[in-house]
A and B are shown apart, each in its own frame.
Chain A
Amino acid sequence: DAGVIQSPRHEVTEMGQEVTLRCKPISGHNSLFWYRQTMMRGLELLIYFNNNVPIDDSGMPEDRFSAKMPNASFSTLKIQPSEPRDSAVYFCASSLGGGTNEKLFFGSGTQLSVL
């Protein structure tokens, strides 16, 4: 199994530009999570999908952030327009079941730098 695959690994962009992060969960996993990690705030849940349906998006910072899961094997997190305070590592994770009592498998993350 290839694990959770994220792209790109690194993204450097200028303030105001659109950024799209991509994630392919482990095949057969029903839940997908987007997290953001910074030194100041730690690991924060942004949004959680189950069977491609957003279940909890209360962690999405503001309208500049949006996430989609058009099918079971692909999800995107978009930031438009990007700001320097969005600089962080963004992780995608998946789990087998529909609840949150199961272990998460994390991708390698995307290091985002907004200049």
Chain B
Amino acid sequence: QKEVEQNSGPLSVPEGAIASLNCTYSDRGSQSFFWYRQYSGKSPELIMSIYSNGDKEDGRFTAQLNKASQYVSLLIRDSQPSDSATYLCAVSGGQNFVFGPGTRLSVLP
């Protein structure tokens, strides 16, 4: 069974710090990797996608992928209170997406 694992948190960081979110997956055939952000009571929204090994940067967000280690991470630089949310890692390689349980991030002012 395909699995995606994340630390449930909560992960607390002070405003302005770097938040580091991690995700591991079990299916070596996975090809596409996504990070979704979900505010409480809202629907998930895509913030990053990554398909090849290495880093991908978009503004304050950097996604990192290491297929050999089956590991994906999301770094949020200069964290803001508005970044407080649950971050879902999603992995795809076949007929469907598999979402991780999410990590709850709290950015303290």
Q: State in angstroms the CA–CA spacing of A42 and B98 once bound together.
A: 11
Tell yes or no: B69 within 8 A of A by CB: no
Partner of B44, one of A43, A101, A102: A43
How many residues does chain B have at the interface if contact means C-beta atoms less than 8 Å apart?
Answer: 23
Would you call A106 and B45 a contact (CB within 8 A)?
A: yes
Tell yes or no: A113 within 8 A of B by CB: no
Q: Nearest chain B CB to A40's CB is how many angstroms away? A: 10
Would you call A42 and B101 a contact (CB within 8 A)?
A: yes
Would you call B43 and A43 a contact (CB within 8 A)?
A: no
Q: Quick one: closest A residue to B31, CB to CB?
A: A101
Q: State in angstroms the CA–CA spacing of A100 and B33 once bound together.
A: 10
Q: Nearest chain A CB to B5's CB is how many angstroms away? A: 11
Tell yes or no: A88 within 8 A of B by CB: no
Q: What residues on B are CB-neighbors of A56 within 8 Å?
A: 95-96
Query: What is A's interface to B at a CB cutoff of 8 Å?
Result: 33, 42-43, 45, 48, 55-56, 59, 91, 100-109
